[in-house]
Amino acid sequence: MQKSYDGKSLVVKDLNLAIGRGEFLTLLGPSGSGKTTCLMMLAGFETATHGDIFLAGRPINNIPPHKRGIGMVFQNYALFPHMTVGENLSFPLEVRKLGKAEREEKVRTALDMVKMDGFEKRRPSQLSGGQQQRVALARALVFEPDLVLMDEPLGALDKQLREHMQFEIKHLHERLGITVVYVTHDQSEALTMSDRIAVFNDGVIQQLSNPDDLYERPENAFVAQFIGENNRLTGTVEQRNGKIVSIALDDGSKSKALAVNCGGQGSRTVLSIRPERVVLGWENESNTTLGEVLELTYLGDHIRYRMKVHGNPDFVLRLPNTSEHAKLTVGETAKISWNIDDCRALDI
Amino acid sequence: MPDMAEPILAADGTPLKKKLGQALFRSRLSAFGLVVPLLAFVVVSFIVPIIALLWQGVYDKRFAVLMPNTSAALSDWSGVSEPTEEMYSALVADLVVARKEKTIGRVATRVNRELSGMRSLFTSTARKAAELEAPYKDALIAVQKTWGELETWQAMKIASRVYTPGYLLASLDFKLNADGSIVRQDENRRIHVKLFLRTLEISMVVTIACLLLGYPIAYLLASLPLRTSNLLLVLVLLPFWTSLLVRTTAWIAMLQSQGIMNDLFVAFGVTSDDDRFSLIYNKTGSLIAMTHILLPFMILPLFSVMKAIPPSYVRAAKSMGASDWTAFWRVYFPQSVAGIGAGVLLVFILAIGYYITPALVGGQDGQMISNIIDFHMRKSLNWNLAAAIGLVLLVIVLLLFWVYDRVVGIDNIKLG
Ligand SMILES: Nc1ncnc2c1ncn2[C@@H]1O[C@H](COP(=O)(O)OP(=O)(O)O)[C@@H](O)[C@H]1O
Ligand SMILES: [Mg+2]
């Protein structure tokens, strides 16, 4: 699918995505990358400039939003301020012409489900952010849609509440067996909740995989950089031996890496190494070097060292704060090393 | 937990509440200082004159001051018995003075309001008053037979009241009699109630027309991208850039029987050439021109309220299965009510006091109550009656305001 708002540039360039029934799929990407636009096309509020959308095998491009039967949770909840919580929840049931008794029953069940029973008579403005969030969730679920779309639903909550709600949404998804398409720009949220994550940038899906693959096996530099912390070393491919490439780094030294997404001999590449995969000492013979400690940040359970490695002053090491580990001091030069498998040669 | 009975103390031992009051006093003082100039201006140039003017609607001391002896004599008179010789002699004494002081015209005008024909009676009699001799009753009746009639004296008795409900009653088409009884005006002199009703009718029709025309426009403006809507908003405001007089005159060119609208009607065969619509110099003219002029006052508050309604509400409604109309009617419309309230109130209150437009394009049956007030202010110079009508109008507006508050709720109004 493609989408353009102004006829000049494509906001969504090449979206080709199949979502399984009962899946929790997250669209993750920086702000402005076209996530909301994708969701709006799915919900029917924006028309696709090119391409088709199928729901359960049925093309829905020409079906208006209110006939698609897709539940939706908006970023600012969009709870109707002139209705009580009960009326808000009963709204989708009323437009479906359900009887009064049935409506009340379903509203009660839905509020029970999000632990908001007893709040029927309140107005949305009399609820806290977390409570509003729950009501919005209940309202999207009360008419039992198969597919629920959520556009940064936790964006307005504080950290603790957000983490709590992440688990509740996840549990609801598991219990009800619904399909969820979830939009966020928060990578940790995406990693904790999703079955699969589609990383978005510039209107293109950069990588679509499950959370651990995404973190441990990023396929390009954008994903490696966007998900978690990442050390980058740039260089040129010298020689390619099947899955292993030899790299001449820009400071003149040599290194070996896993060929993931790099060209042949002579092409530029960036090596990606996770900070927690770098170890002290030279036990791994393949990639050993020295690093000068520039900065030390105490983070409680672990310590974060910023070092100058191969000419890169932003090389980060993350060491557990245990008694076995010797503590480094600023200015000290330490022996460090990493495994070839943990060093991925990606596009630049 | 602090003991509720004991006031909480600040660090220096003074009660916290007092301390807070002191701290706030300075900021309140400077805030008050900022509004003092405007407050003084409003009081001096707006509130005081209005009260002074409205006061004249119930207070008229002219006769009592200029004819002191007559007034004293009249206050003892029942209003139905035969006037006594003392009353006549007091009258002659006052007339002599009034003639000398050149105040007789004002006295004559005042009494003439209660009974026509009194003006010439007073001025002509005053000229001869100095030569009259006792008994004054016969002398006066000899000058003009009218002096012997009860009606004449009753008119003077009414005029001699300083605080008088007479003007208020007149503005509601009632009449005060000398014995204090209140009766309705003669059938052919009842004009005010009819005008009040017409004013309310025109105001309501104009308000409803503005709402019906303005709501879709405001809705369109609010749903367009900001750049386009700003441009269109300028078009909405364009009429404000030309003077009210010019706009009203433009309507004359549009609506008169040889005007553009009628030419178009004839051209499209809506009517025949010798049977053109009379769209102006009648109520239709007032309605059309006022609706046009007041439309922006409806659109602006509606627009600013609608602009603040997030599009996600309607989207949420649709995602839950509501059709376009249901989403609009159940979700969007209730949230635009605040704007409707503001717009309706604004247009109605502006309309109820409108007078230039009806004066120019209203003809006979398009006149409103303000035109009568204007007439009494500038032509008949009966300021007291003008003030009384104004007072009644004010009371009507306040009454409607109260009803509005009861029905819609004044705090439901939002201007943006
Ligand atoms: N209604 C619209 N009209 C024009 N451009 C839009 C509209 N909505 C979004 N865009 C543009 O499309 C791009 C993607 O926006 P969006 O889908 O909201 O991104 P995200 O949700 O990932 O932050 C942005 O550059 C934004 O400016
Ligand atoms: Mg977005």
Residue range B297-308, pLDDT digits in tens: 999 999 999 999
* Closest approach of A72 to chain B, Cα-based (Å): 6
- Contact in structure between B81 and B178 (CB atoms under 8 Å): no
What is the A57 CA–ligand 1 centroid distance (Å)?
28
pLDDT value at A240 more than 90: no
Interval between CA A108 and ligand 2 midpoint (Å): 31
Query: Is A76 in Cβ contact with B322 (below 8 Å)?
Result: no
Tell me the ligand closest to A31's alpha carbon: 1
Tell me the CATH number of domain B192-412, given options 3.30.565.10, 3.40.50.720, 3.40.50.20, 1.10.3720.10. 1.10.3720.10
Interface A-B: count of C-beta contacts within 8 A = 66
> Taking residues A213-232, what's their average pLDDT?
91
Nearest to B156 by CA among B91, B213, B228, B249: B91
Hey, whose CA ends up nearest to atom 16 of ligand 1? A34
Amino acid at B71: S
Is pLDDT at A228 greater than 90 in this prediction? no
Whose CA is closest to B385, among B186, B81, B170, B221? B170
Q: Please compute the mean of the pLDDT values over residues B21-39 and round it to a whole number.
A: 89
Of the candidates A212, A153, A140, A143, the residue with the CA atom closest to the CA atom of residue A182: A153
Sign of torsion over alpha carbons A90, A92, A93, A94: positive
- Band (pLDDT 50/70/90 cuts) for residue B16 is confident
- Looking at residue B175, its amino acid is K
Q: What is the mean pLDDT of chain A?
A: 90
Average pLDDT over residues A78-91: 95
Calculated CA dihedral for residues A55, A59, A62, A68, nearest 10 degrees: -20
The pLDDT value given to residue B333? 95
Q: What confidence score (pLDDT) does residue A155 get? A: 85
Q: Categorize the per-residue pLDDT at B211 as very low, low, confident or very high, splitting at 50, 70 and 90.
A: very high
- Residue B80 is predicted with a pLDDT of 85
Find the mean pLDDT for residues B57-80: 91
- For Cα atoms B103, B109, B112, give the angle at the middle one, nearest 5 degrees: 140
Burial tier of A281 (Cβ tally within 10 Å: 0-12, 13-18, 19+): exposed
- Give contacts of A88 with chain B, Cβ < 8 Å: none
Phi/psi of residue A3, nearest 5 degrees: -145, 130
The rounded mean pLDDT for chain B is: 89
Tell me the residues of B at the A interface, defined by beta carbons under 8 Å apart. 310, 312-313, 315-324, 326-327, 330-331, 334-335
Residue, of B312 and A284, whose pLDDT is higher: B312
Residue B4 confidence class, pLDDT cut points 50, 70, 90: low
Out of A70, A78, A91, closest to residue B312 by CB:
A78
Mean pLDDT of A304-332: 87
Indicate yes or no: CB of A82 within 8 angstroms of CB of B323. Answer: no
In this prediction, residue B1 carries a pLDDT of 46
Q: Is the pLDDT of residue B416 over 60?
A: no
Q: Which residues of A306-327 are buried (b: 16+ CB within 10 A; e: fewer)?
A: bbebbebeebbbbbeeeeeeee
CA distance A237 to A247: 5
Q: Do you know the residue count of chain B?
A: 416
Phi, psi for A309 (deg, rounded to 5): -130, 125
Distance from CA of B318 to the nearest CA of A (A): 5
Check pLDDT > 80 for residue B179: no
Share of chain A above pLDDT 90, in %: 56
- Quickly count: other Cβ atoms within 10 Å of residue B190's Cβ: 14
Q: Which of A42, A82, A96 to mutate to test the interface with B (most CBs of B within 10 A)?
A: A82
Using CA atoms, how far apart are residues A182 and A194, in angstroms rounded to an integer?
A: 8
ipTM, two decimals: 0.82
To test the contact with chain A by mutation, choose from B312, B320, B330 the residue with the greatest count of A C-beta atoms within 10 A, namely B320
Q: Check whether B5 has a pLDDT greater than 90.
A: no
B331 CB neighbours in chain A (<8 A) are 80
Measure the N-to-C terminal CA separation of chain A; round to a whole number of Å.
26
Q: For the residues A175-189, what does the mean pLDDT come to?
A: 92
| Chain A residues whose beta carbon lies within 8 Å of the beta carbon of residue B318 | 44-45, 64-66
Whether residue B285 contacts residue B360, with contact meaning beta carbons closer than 8 Å, is answered with no
* CB-facing half-sphere around the CA of B12: CA atoms within 13 A: 5
% residues pLDDT > 70 (chain A) = 99
* 3-state DSSP assignment of residue A263: coil
Taking the whole predicted model, whether its pTM rises above 0.90 is answered as no
Nearby residues of B47 by Cβ (< 8 Å), 6 or more positions away? none
Per-residue confidence band for B415, with pLDDT thresholds at 50, 70 and 90: low
The pLDDT of A296-317, averaged and rounded, is 91
Q: Output B15 or B288, whichever has higher pLDDT.
A: B288
Contact between B71 and B63 under an 8 Å Cβ cutoff? The reply is yes
Give the number of the atom of ligand 1 that is nearest the alpha carbon of residue A29: 22
pLDDT beyond 60 at B226: yes
Decide: helix, strand or coil at residue A160. Answer: helix
Whether pLDDT at B165 is above 70:
yes
Residue B362: is it exposed, middle or buried by C-beta count within 10 angstroms (0-12/13-18/19+)?
A: buried
pLDDT at residue A285 is higher than 70: no
How close A228 comes to chain B (CA, Å)? 32
Q: Is the pLDDT of residue B397 over 70?
A: yes
For A13, the token pair is: 């360039």
**Atom 8 (ligand 1): residue with closest C-alpha?**
A37
- Domains of chain B by residue range: 1-55, 62-189, 192-412
- Cβ separation of A81 and B318 shorter than 8 Å? no
Q: What percent of chain B has pLDDT over 70?
A: 97
- Residues B75-102 have pLDDT tens digits of 888 888 889 999 999 999 999 999 999 9
Distance CA A204, CA A221 (A): 14
Strands (E), chain A: 24-28, 54-55, 58-59, 70-73, 147-151, 179-184, 196-201, 204-209, 231-241, 244-249, 254-259, 268-273, 279-280, 287-298, 302-309, 312-320, 333-338, 343-346
Calculate how far, in angstroms, residue B345's C-alpha sits from the geometric centre of ligand 2.
39
Which residue, chain included where needed, has tokens 């609607």? B57
**What atom in ligand 1 is closest to the CA of residue A30?**
22
Protein residues near ligand 2, an ion, with CB under 5 A: A 36
Q: Name residues contacting ligand 1 (CB within 6 A).
A: A 5, 11, 29, 31-37
pLDDT at residue number A348 = 79
Chain B CA closest to residue A92 = B320
Partners of residue A209 on adjacent β-strands: A197
Reported as a single tens digit per residue, the pLDDT across B342-389 is: 899 999 999 999 988 899 888 888 899 999 999 999 998 899 999 999
> How confident is the model over A48-64, as a mean pLDDT?
90
Q: List strands edge to edge, sheet with A312-320.
A: A279-280, A333-338, A287-298, A302-309, A312-320
User: How many of the other CB atoms lie within 10 Å of CB of B218?
Assistant: 28
